[in-house]
Amino acid sequence: MERLTTFEELRAYAGAAPRPLGLVPTMGAVHAGHMSLVERSSRECAATVATLFVNPAQFDDKGDFARYPRDAEGDLAALAAAGADAVFTPPEREVYPAGFATWVRMGGPALPLEGAARPGHFDGVATIVAKLLIGALPDAAYFGQKDGQQVAVVRRLVADLGLSVRVVAAPTVREADGLALSSRNGLLNAEQRRGAAALHRALQAGAAALGEGAGAAEAACRAVLAKEPQVSAVDYVALVDQATMAPWSGQGEAMLAAAVRVGSVRLIDNLLMSAD
Ligand code: PAF
């Protein structure tokens, strides 16, 4: 696996790589969910570049940035084992050089849910994703559906900037009890880890109630969360349009999304669904 640390190296690698080229952006703390994205890109593309950069601009809480798990050597080994041909690991100064002043400011799907809870988060995501897409000009870029709002934001970004890249949203990888794989799961103690499985159960209960309407779906989800003592707060439960993140109108594909706190750890998850 080739290691690239500057945008110039990324451009040179991507320019010479066999096509189609797949890009898998990550912030490290690589788990089986990230590896499934790299594996899928390796199956579908002739070359795969993974990226590994803990992006300070998308953390509204500096403590969260400091606590974010980092294991560069383990991450590089995991990305190589999953089939990445190259990894782009820029230092912070490469991404945000002195005097950096150009940001992507996202509206639309970036505003509710995570956007409301974490001001500036999606501007940080959109800025780094735009830089990576412009740097590598890949044919396909792979993201996990666990961050369903991020997928909608990236699709909006790609459409609005007129980028020629296929955005692939890969299914959420889950533990046996349904908990979505996340770099934050490792911050849970044993009791919290057991209780965290309620999030997926709650979303399933919401999906089962969708036939009775959006209100019933959200209420069924909240009812399961309310019964779990390890869930210390529910930030939101919302049934939204998959593309716009606006409240679901009853037409088109929906996403039931929730964000909860288990102890001090914030977890998000979602299920895609339609009323048909
Ligand atoms: O999903 C993530 O890990 C990050 O938001 C991403 C897409 C790598 C941008 O920093």
In this structure, the answer to whether residues 90 and 194 fall within a common structural domain is: no
Ligand 1 centroid to residue 272 C-alpha, Å: 20
Q: Is 34 a catalytic residue?
A: yes
Ligand 1 centroid to residue 227 C-alpha, Å: 32
State pLDDT tens for residues 88-119.
999 999 999 999 999 999 999 999 999 999 99
Ligand 1 centroid to residue 215 C-alpha, Å: 31
Taking the CA of residue 183 as reference, the ligand 1 atom at the shortest distance is: 3
State pLDDT tens for residues 27-53.
999 999 999 999 999 999 999 999 999
Per-residue pLDDT at 195 exceeds 90:
yes
Mean pLDDT of 193-199: 98
In this structure, the answer to whether residues 166 and 214 fall within a common structural domain is: no
**Rounded Cα gap, residues 105 and 260, in angstroms:** 26
| Mean pLDDT (the chain, rounded) | 97
Looking at 148, 170, 192, which one is the last position of a domain? 170
For the record, the structure tokens of 23 come out as 């890009």
- CB 79 within 8 Å of CB 30: yes
Whether residue 263 is contained in a domain is answered as: yes
Q: Is the CB of 135 under 6 A from ligand 1?
A: no
In this structure, the answer to whether residues 91 and 157 fall within a common structural domain is: yes
- pLDDT for position 249: 94
Burial class (CB in 10 A: 0-12, 13-18, 19+), 69: middle
In this structure, the answer to whether residues 81 and 131 fall within a common structural domain is: yes
- pLDDT for position 41: 99
Residue 162 backbone dihedrals phi, psi, to 5 degrees: 65, 35
Residues 6+ apart with CB under 8 A from 181: 31, 32, 33, 146, 172, 173, 174, 175
**Rounded Cα gap, residues 165 and 146, in angstroms:** 20
How many angstroms from the chain centroid is the CA of residue 236? 17
Q: Is the CB of 147 under 6 A from ligand 1?
A: yes
State pLDDT tens for residues 58-68.
999 999 899 89
pLDDT cut 90: percent of the chain above it: 95
Q: Which domain covers residue 33, as residue numbers?
A: 2-170
Residue 73 banded pLDDT, cuts 50, 70, 90: very high
- pLDDT for position 204: 98
